[in-house]
Structure 1
Amino acid sequence: MTIRLGRREFLMGSSALAAAAALGVSPAWAQNALRLIFWGGQARADRTYAVTDAYAAAGNPGVEGEFLSWNDYWPKLATQTAGGTAPDVIQMDYRFIVEYATRNAIAPLDDIIGDLGEFDADQLEGGKVDGKLYGISLGANSVAMLANVTAFEAIGEAVPDNSWTYADIERLGEAFKAAGNGMAAMSDGSGSEPFLDNWLRQRGKALYTAEGKLGFDAADATEWFAMWNGFREKGYIVSAEDNALDTGAPETSMVALKKAALLPSNSNQLVIHQSVNDDTLTITSYPRIEAGVGGGHYRKPSMFFSVGGTAAEKQAAADFIRYFVTDPEAGKILGVERGIPCNASVREAITPTLDEQSQIALNFVSNLGDLLGPLPPSPPAAAGEIDTSLLRVLSQEVGFGGRSAEDAGQFFVDEATAILNRAAS
């Protein structure tokens, strides 16, 4: 069952998460089967459940799974964790792993995960907090721009390649306007944390520093919101009203609704987006701020599996995670929907079995060239709150005319700084 919580409930859930951790809440009931929670669409669920079925068929404990959309996932997980009912295996994101680890909401894995085989060192490093391993990467990916090939062909334009720039947004925006088919060139990326991060990295800055502070100032944030305001006013991106239709589920994306030809996304999400689109899709890079400028992309853990801090059978949960990321047959079922497998043997086993979209994703991540920069430090504990309840909210307020870009830029930095300071105190 999916529940929907608003901003107030989300923040209450986050506060309850902290309180529960401090009190050492224990599980509310004994469990015969492992419980798993993850975000994603039906295509991800089908693959995941096929693996849990294979795991149980091999004589291992059963695994009961639940999946939700991204927007619904985090409020529910925070509420479950605060109530002591968090699942045994939790799908975790890079921006939230520090918060959940430091609050003991997920357990260290160093002593229970066992042998992962030839596992990419950078992906293991990405799952560490304060030197301890809290998450096992389910795949390497990179931010990527989802592109509707059919829509580009219809107006006689080529899908941008990895050399395209922000200046091309204007050219493509005019081309789609001239086509008069009701489709904008791009969805609104002003509330996308990865998009902002990529833009800042190309400018030699960062979303967060290694010390857990903001790596940019109010002038940067103002320029960001103003740039998107300009795109919106000229009709190069979708309207605020249309963009608000996107709930985070693939079926409600601006590409799926045929309101935009380009959508900021991730390389591993091509597979799931293609599954809900009748047009042909592909991926390309995020735009460069200027021709020849790179370094904005990086190979990140697409997501992790972590063991719940209150899980009664932590070893059993870790055994399932190890199977999920190291078993070649499981890898063939999963493909690259969660990213490029981090275990070398699994990569070798699945490559001949990949469909066209999966091959595109694999080749994209493997051939980023000068776009590729270093993996940034793990986001600070409050990064999730800043993304969900600040950047996204401000993006909508600017889009609907409730705030100016200048007001939003200053407010973003002031409020984000206050959130980080509260989290560190």
Structure 2
Amino acid sequence: MSHKDSMTETESRAAKVMQRADRMASFSETPEHLTRAYLTPEHKLAHAQLASWMLEAGLETWQDSVGNQWGRKVSANPTMPTLILGSHSDTVANAGRYDGNLGVLLALEALEALGDVELPYHVDVVAFADEEGTRFNTTLIGSSGVAGCFQPSWLEVEDANGVSMASAMDSFGLEPQVAGSDSRVDEEILAYLEVHIEQGPVLEAQNLPVGVVTGIAGAKRYEMTVKGMAGHAGTVPIGLRQDAFCGVAQMVTEIENYALEHDIVATVGKCEVLPGAVNVIPGEVRFTLDIRSLSQHQLETCCETLLEKLAAIAKLRSLSFESRNIYQAQAVLCDEVLQHKWANVVEKHTQQTACFLPSGAGHDAMVMAQVANIGMLFVRCDKGISHHPAESVTTEDVSVALDCFIDMVQSFAP
């Protein structure tokens, strides 16, 4: 086969991946917006479609105890370890069609392309059933089931309609009492590989189709409450006020400056001003803070220092200040050997030096790191837009990612 013919075949496969992404987008809660949440009827239909495509690719297929959909390219030697490829099939509300789903479809297409190639290890592709937490506000349920850290208490969590996870599992055809019992913690896993859209603008800014992920940032989230004294907007002099919102404004500026100085990201995403009247001095403000860093030590240190700085601002202004940690996720580094493997195939197929970049967003790889070495590849997305209907990738970039993935899957052979 000539190089030209090979490229044509890969481009054809990439076009098929794009068509399948369109097909997956049709499995949605509403026809006008793509929303596909965990254990819903549309999620069941999406997994049935994935199972059909897996069978077409010659893979063994099954659904596990928490609803993940699996396909396996079987090695001739049943005692060999397993290479796992995956991403997630659920979406946020009013989503784009490539977050998570592209990684599943690329993995599936890579194994279909390798259908006639004998590999000395099993290769599994998994569509994790819940990464986003859209329905139950509990993220990474699918990969937690695989990694042996599914929490039985999650079964009691209810969605917005009062349906418990246990009840939803039952309706989906699962047995909630055995959720997580078929984890892969005792099996030998070669590695876990995930391809995902970047969800950021770095690759586009560097005009690169793909990039090698160095790690996934740890995150902490807080709810803050600042209290002062409400009063008449016209009668209390500026110098005698205890304006909670002015204090928060200074805090937000301090947060931005501190993040810039210490190479972290910090975001105030929600802010509620009370009592919220045009002619009343704000007496109370509630706001959120999201802080992320690729270094867990830096994350812990920065959070501690920043909270001290915010408390000092409140004290200077005679305001009360309270903070509550509402979420935390550990920073996870990608395996260095896998990073170099990805870099080698990227440079082979792009003829450019590989770009190494961190992920500020969470992924199933964070949880899979508990049972395997992880390696991730990012695919450029238009303007870095994600979690939005405008999410977009090109067939050309998908073709490059597929070439890289096919070679990466084969790279573990001796």
Greater strand share, 1 or 2?
Answer: 2
Greater helix share, 1 or 2?
Answer: 1
Q: Provide TM-score, normalisation by structure 2.
A: 0.27
Question: RCO (CA 8 Å, sep 6+): is it higher in 1 or 2?
Answer: 1
Q: Provide TM-score, normalisation by structure 1.
A: 0.26
